[in-house]
Chains A and B, each alone.
Chain A
Amino acid sequence: MSAPVAGVTSERFHPLLELTKARLREFFREPGMIFWVFGFPIVMAIGLGLAFRSQPPEKPAVALLAPGESGAARALLESDVLAAVSVPEAEALRGLARTRYALVVDLRGAEPVYRYDAVSSSARLARALADAELQRASGRHDVLSPRDEPQTLPGTRYIDFLLPGLIALNIMGSSVWGVGYSFVVARKRKLLRRFAVTAMRRSHYLLSYFFSRLVFLGLELGVLVAFGALAFGTIVQGSGLGLVLAALIGAAAFAGLGLLIGARVDNTEVATGWMNFIQLPMWVLSGAYFTNERFPEWMQPFIQALPLTALVDALRLTYNEGATLTRIAPELAILMAWALAGFAISARTFRWQ
């Protein structure tokens, strides 16, 4: 041991802790980043949640062409299941063309005449409802007396479908960008080579990304899950552990994709292009906003192999169908494979300068 020298100290700051703190500080001191990670998905959920909120069943609008107060006309105007109005013929036809009315009922002749768009299911529904009212008013007697049991199952609204998708999109965006972009910026600023000439352990640098992502992931997941529960009453019906594991492995899979870009690129514009290129097909195909079951059969194996599809499905099953951890195991396996592939390839291609 050398003699203690004034000013020389062996007081230690742990490099992993300092690196992680530096990453977190850089993030939380960037107000724009905070909005994109936390604010944006919430604004999106509010917007879409409002647009597709559950409403009482809509009454089809029906235009009535009636010569006077007849029993048939009254039956339609007083119907509980139709919104009927009596209007002049010109207005009725104009309204039909503009889809303001689903159906025009002409009662001026001996028998009623229905005018509607035959390919529209809502127009055909209006026709069926109006016809039933008229038939009953004319004395038809219904033979069966069925019992209705209206159901509002938890997890069947659009917002219930949407929220897991938004969480998955958020995990994808923040992991791909948070890892890929910051490596590219650090390389562009020559910060990577500056670190490479210090006694820093390179594994510490990479691990600091892991730990800072973990903190962000916890916050993102917490904010979105809490928001969904408080604002829309969308709650996790399946395994909480499954949800957390899916988010964690999903984040690792997307971090691996980000790292593939971050391993080499030193130009932020090029990196932006690559990141959008990677994410764009998944935005469309993975069923975050709408179901992907309508894509052709031959595309399905490809769609199912995408990491975002796996994450969306795992989160949605856990949220809405009460899935246990074992039920989402196939999705988790797909995500794990993506994560391992991403990290393994980047480990070989990574450049410090």
Chain B
Amino acid sequence: MAKAIVCRGLVKRYGKKVAVDGIDLEVEKGQCLGLLGPNGAGKTTTVEMLEGLHAPDAGSIELLGMRWGQGNDHALRQRLGVQLQETTLGDKLQVLEVLQLFRSFCERGRRIDEVLDWVGLRAERQSRYHTLSGGQKQRVALACALVGDPELLFLDEPTTGLDPRARQSLWQVVERFRAAGGTVLLTTHYMEEAATLCDRIAIMDQGKLIAGGTPAELVDGLGQVQFVEFETGDAVDVASLERLDGVESVARRERQYRLTVGRNVKRLTSVLLELERQNVVPIGLSTHQATLDDVFLQLTGRGLQAAQTVAEEVSK
């Protein structure tokens, strides 16, 4: 199959800090690749190098068989749709006017009303941009990326800060674009988003790719395990729990415990019996199958949400 994106050995440094540290990516036409990772992992820098906003310090980029800076950038841009993080489009402009503006840059493209239907904003076509909700603004941004009928779509954290309903309505638009044969590269730190939209996922942390594959492959890579989590104020004999047959590991953070257990009801029962024997009263006991969140936890030793929180605190 033809490749939509091929990049090799991408490096970007800001002073001494290495933001992107040797990334290789390949995306086939018609596929959706998700770049997953916490803030500060280098996702945005990577995507913006692919979009031609920053020149990489090292490495090569090939999009739809073309390269940046070889005299046909304009032709290449005609084939790309881009949605950047946090852009404020003209506050005083109507949705329709914003789209007309972006449509005017493209030699060919879609009818504006059709794109407005896609993103569900036909009723708001005359509304001024600043009166829209966060979700509607994100959909306008997506519409701006789609109005030129691109072959390759870049979405940088398209749903960050949106409520679940707004997020789902955006996912539908992306799925529709894919159904028409479009290729997508999106960054996200929502596991659910990656699992829903992406054929393949590349997990990034601290400028490097630390794992890649289909969502199922990544989850299966953890082995046939499930997770048992609970909270308790009682004293727990961790060593006895670890000695149980089928318990692979016990992690503790203050009053919270997380056990990695073989995917088997009998193993689960023996854990519960052991807790009863120790007179431990678990609060908020839950068990779940492995998810991409667990993959990230396994790979980096910290949860994606925890990594997210740390990154946000650092950035403040």
Contacts and interface: CB of A to CB of B under 8 A. Distances in A.
A10 B89 CA distance: 24
Given A25-B92, A189-B88, A190-B88, A8 B110 contact: yes
B51 interface: yes
Nearest to A19: B101
Given A196-B53, A197-B82, A198-B77, A10 B108 contact: yes
A46 to B, nearest CB: 30
A9 B109 contact: yes
B90 A22 contact: yes
B80 interface: yes
A198 B144 CA distance: 10
A175 to B, nearest CB: 21
A266 to B, nearest CB: 13
B109 A8 contact: yes
Interface residues of B, number: 35
Given A9-B108, A193-B53, A25 B97 contact: yes
Interface in A179-205: 189-191, 193-194, 196-201
A140 interface: no
B148 interface: yes
B97 A22 contact: yes
A221 B89 CA distance: 31
B154 to A, nearest CB: 8
B288 interface: no
B151 interface: no
Contacts of A199: 74, 77-78, 105-107, 148
B105 A200 contact: yes
Contacts, number: 87
A197 B109 contact: no
A189 B87 contact: yes
A260 B55 CA distance: 25
B278 interface: no
A190 B87 contact: yes
Nearest to B84: A194
B246 to A, nearest CB: 52
A98 interface: no
Contacts of A39: none
B86 interface: yes
Contacts of B87: 189-191, 193-194
B132 interface: no
A22 B93 CA distance: 7
A338 B173 CA distance: 50
Nearest to B149: A8
Interface string B137-157: 000000010001100000000
B100 interface: yes
Interface in A15-35: 15, 17-19, 21-22, 25-26, 29-30
Given A190-B87, A198-B82, A7 B111 contact: yes
A353 interface: yes
A25 B129 CA distance: 13
B20 to A, nearest CB: 17
Contacts of A189: 87-88
Contacts of B110: 7-9
A10 B86 CA distance: 30
Given A8-B110, A353-B53, A15 B92 contact: no
A189 B102 CA distance: 16
Given A7-B114, A193-B53, A30 B109 contact: no
B200 interface: no
B289 interface: no
10 contacts: A8-B110, A13-B100, A14-B104, A17-B104, A18-B100, A18-B101, A22-B101, A25-B97, A197-B51, A201-B74
Interface of A: 7-15, 17-19, 21-22, 25-26, 29-30, 189-191, 193-194, 196-201, 353
